[in-house]
Structure 1
Amino acid sequence: MADGDQRWRAAAGDDWLADVARAASRDAGGAPVELLGDYLLLLADAAVSGRRPRRSELEAVERLGRHAAEQGVSAGKAVQLYLSAARRMWQQLPLLRRSGDSAVVLAAADAVLQVVDDAVATLAEGYAAARRELVRREETLRRELVDDLLRGDSDLGGLVQRAEPFGLDLTRTHQVALAAPSRRLPDTEAAIRALEAVIFDRLGDRDVLVATKEGLLVVLAPADPATTAAEPAARAADLAAAATAVPLGDLMYAELSRLPRGRPWQIAVGRPHPGLYGIARSYEEAREALTMARQLKVDRPVVGAHNLLIYRVLLRDQPAMVDLVQAVLHPLTRARGGAQPLLETLAAYFDSGGVATEAARRLHLSVRTVTYRLARVRTLTGYDPADPTDRFTLQAATLGARALDWPRQPLPAV
């Protein structure tokens, strides 16, 4: 600030411009006076001679707008600094105090307002250009950080240092969620801003990172409440309750559904795991859950990795799964209409907790039709869906058939 004051005294030969600059800085919440550059001299010159700024002088103002953005000065404060400086300079302009000619005053006002118009517009352009560059740079850094975190094989010390500017504490327990749009990813920045705002607000915690990867939105969020010495345990408990009241996947789906493009979204959420390598593990679970949801034609908007654990078990040993489906369910192909209606009835019956009336409601059938089909399953396979032991075998085989898309697709050769 002192350097700026000396500059004004040396350039203007008087203290009054320096006083104007300091007062304008106070009006703008302490915006650096150096951001004014030669602006006040341009105003004073315009008032006296009517001269408009040269291209080189406006380019200097544009650079000052860039500096304001790079220094973290808000656009509002930067503009307020320039407007306040113009107002205060006009009030103290020696020309106005000495002149009694209204025509001279009007000409000076017109010239000064023209400089204000040119300078503020140019300042805003420079500020906006710098902000776009900063956003692109931050997006690149964020995407690179996310890639390394999700890969889980980078230098731990380097990752901790790179994560710090984003407010991430890699010692905490995190979970990863992936959001897949119905088509291509829509406006990336709008989606990222929307998710960050709602997650910050709900979790009360800035330990969140939102980025893009391979056409998906990636959300890295804490699964445990952050506690500090100044924060009592009761407050941490409140944050934990708020975080679990609306699960991360549901929170994301509700917010993304408000965006004009990208719908319908499907969200896959990995399980929470502690530490750096837990982030990579949660991501792999979320990615696998999304893949399996597509493979199994799961139309739920939010799928959790914990909900698909049984499919992971089944898919890891495909020969055993094929053998199970072949041995248990293949006899259903002898039914009139084939195996598909009976399989759909079994799936609805198991999904409804073994309640035939609920299964009938889901299938839009009568209860009598459902009980008849269950009886046919018992007759054809020898397994009774109502028997606890048989039900486990039938349900595992039904899940396997869904994973293999049988009977729409033939069973793989093993």
Structure 2
Amino acid sequence: MRILLDNLLKRLVAHGDLSVIWPDGAISHYAGRPGRAATLAIRDPAIIRRLVTDPAMALGEGYMEGALDPVDGSIYDVLHVLLSSVQESEGRIPALRLRNAFGRVFRPLAQLNNARRSKRNVAHHYDLNGRLYALFLDRDRQYSCGYFPRGDETIDEAQAAKKRHIASKLLLDRPDLEVLDIGCGWGGMALTLARDYGARVTGITLSEEQLAEARRRAEAEGLADRVSFELMDYRAMTREFDRIVSVGMFEHVGVPNYPSFFATVQRCLKPDGVALLHAIGRFDGPDVTSPWLAKYIFPGGYSPSLSEVFAPLERSGLRSTDIEILRLHYAKTLAHWRKRFAANRDAIASLYDERFCRMFEFYLAGSQLAFEVQDHMVFQIQLARRQDAAPLTRDYMIDAERAAQSLSRSISAPHAASLRSTAS
């Protein structure tokens, strides 16, 4: 099996330099075009067979189990070499071709996310100990792509900018607009829209952990009269709203359910309403979810190509009134999360264990690289039932975003001065 893995790596590594330390101490080098260098030690000979027969699953599991270890670097460095090479090389590797073929055949079955299955899938990831997310996300627990207008924002600044950017596209031009937040997470977006824009927001989620935290936050901020949170599948919503927003939830819907999702938006959006969909997508067309990611992190999850989104969207009766692609913003977001996770690793290990920490490290590193060296991006699609529901140019978005940013600065400046005065 060692010979087979050696041959596989010779065909795979097309970009960068990978050194492998075998269980007996021997070292092999695999090099492609100039790029990042990394070293991987194989601690357990048993993992070699699995790497040959199912590399996409075995690499993550091997790292989780301690059978594979980066040397003088991190799992990010190893994955950088492998993932930057795989798009060029996977067609030459039978195990990867076979995995993709089977994945495409069984993909509809894997994404049959009915209400019961969706709740179970959500619980797998989002009902973990709430302190975990507080240890690596921003203060508002925004678990989706931040927005980096300058490129050097802190994670808190980027997530605040993301919320302003989305709010500008929702055309919140008058108070007391009724807003539906589909997949509301821990409530940060809903609370922001109520507090800063005067909206009345209903947030829905399938996570009991997130629901409890969102309700607690609404009470603590004195916004319980303007924001309500409900444990509800999106398909069960029947009320009409002036605005609908969904951030980082569409990846859990599944391609077979896109008609139901867009039918829900169309049904619940008032005739003159505006909706905003923010989700991860792919540049290179339809594909399959990593089997490791589907098993350990996001069961039932899938990031679609735009071609998969627009066919059911076009049939829904909704109009796509604005589309924006955010390219490397999520890579920057994930880099922040990885840094914060590493800084708080001991605390996270005390909540779970070493295997869990390695699982999350693999997930965060692989996700960052999906945006840096592979085909992932984020799309924002503004939707309406009528073409005239929003102004004809983007000027109103820019004006609203700048006004919100100026207001935020004017509020934070006295607060910062007060803190400095108190400290002195």
Same-fold call, TM > 0.5? no
Q: Which has the higher helix share?
A: 1
Pick 1 or 2: higher relative contact order, CA cutoff 8 A, min separation 6.
2
- What TM-score comes out, normalization by structure 2 length? 0.24
Q: Which has the higher strand share?
A: 2
Structure ID, larger Rg: 1
- What TM-score comes out, normalization by structure 1 length? 0.24
